């Protein structure tokens, strides 16, 4: 009788020696880095607060200028470029530099700033005018003791007044200031001096004569020469329209008014 072939299956035979075991790995749970996310959120919130909170920016209520007149205070506030500036960018030294280089009326300045709430106090020392100057265009300036020019802020009738073109757009030479002081001390009226670039300070005296004095502090000799010349002319019946005493040792005069 013929033998039958039987097929075995792994299920029937069980695990066979040498058979490879296959393990299915379990899925790992997703871990969210909550701590890192929290730090990021906090940093973003702080950044938005610093950016959006109006108290981080200087406004008109938190900017004070002390020691200056109203007009100079306005110039200082604009020159310092503080309004609207973020508190983190406030630099006291930079503000002072801008004020001193931009506002001629200020001789010294100091700034104290706080980044939050953003605010600044700018303390300034104004120049004291010793002379007023009116240009040919009618612009009125004040001149400090060091010769610095700055815009006039009102009328100061007690100041000596000079009319004529400015010898310099920034600073009046000291020799002119000295000449004005010396002539005023010789009883020349405060508001009757004029300036000519080539002849210096001159004055139209009470008789209408044009008297050239030049510049510098040595006006006593020139004034005395002028007085002697006038006395001599009157004695001789002469009336020169121009008397030039810039050089007392060699004064000149002209019977015609050429300028």
Tens-of-pLDDT digits for all 259 residues of the chain? 555 554 555 454 455 555 455 556 666 676 777 778 777 888 877 777 777 778 889 999 999 999 988 889 999 999 999 998 888 889 999 999 999 999 999 999 999 999 899 999 999 999 999 999 999 999 999 999 999 999 898 888 999 999 999 999 999 999 999 999 999 999 899 999 999 999 999 999 999 999 999 999 999 999 999 999 999 999 999 999 999 999 999 999 999 988 8
| pLDDT (0 to 100) of residue 9 | 52
The bridge status of strand 210-214 relative to strand 242-244 is parallel
CATH architecture of 129-254: 3-Layer(aba) Sandwich (3.40)
pTM of the model as a whole: 0.72
Domain limits, the chain = 56-126, 129-254
Domain 56-126 CATH class label = alpha beta
Q: Which one, of 110, 112, 62, 111, lies nearest residue 85 by Cα?
A: 62
| pLDDT (0 to 100) of residue 3 | 54
| pLDDT (0 to 100) of residue 259 | 80
- CA–CA distance, 149 with 243 (Å, rounded to integer): 30
- CA–CA distance, 141 with 145 (Å, rounded to integer): 13
């Amino acid at each position: 009788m013929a033998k039958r072939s039987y097929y075995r299956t792994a299920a029937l035979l069980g695990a066979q020696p040498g058979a490879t075991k296959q393990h299915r790995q379990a899925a790992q749970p997703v871990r969210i880095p909550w701590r890192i996310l929290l730090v990021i959120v906090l940093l973003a919130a702080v950044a938005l607060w610093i950016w959006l909170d109006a108290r981080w920016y200087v406004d008109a209520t938190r900017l004070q200028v002390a020691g200056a007149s109203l007009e100079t205070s306005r110039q200082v506030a604009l020159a310092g470029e503080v309004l609207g500036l973020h508190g983190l960018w406030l630099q006291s030294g930079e503000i002072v530099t801008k004020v001193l280089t931009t506002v001629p009326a200020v001789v010294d300045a100091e700034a104290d700033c706080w980044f939050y709430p953003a605010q600044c106090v700018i303390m300034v020392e104004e120049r004291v005018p010793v002379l007023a100057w009116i240009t040919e265009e009618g612009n009125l300036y004040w001149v400090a003791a060091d010769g610095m020019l700055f815009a006039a802020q009102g009328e100061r009738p007690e100041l000596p007044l000079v009319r004529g073109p400015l010898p310099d757009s920034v600073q009046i030479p000291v020799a002119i200031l000295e000449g004005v002081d010396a002539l005023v001390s010789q009883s020349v009226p405060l508001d009757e001096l004029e300036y000519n670039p080539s002849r210096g300070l001159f004055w139209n005296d009470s008789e209408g004569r044009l008297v050239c004095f030049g510049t510098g502090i040595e006006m006593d000799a020139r004034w005395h020469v002028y007085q002697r010349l006038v006395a001599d002319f009157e004695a001789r019946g002469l009336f020169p329209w121009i008397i030039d005493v810039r050089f007392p040792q060699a004064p000149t005069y002209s019977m015609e008014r050429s300028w």
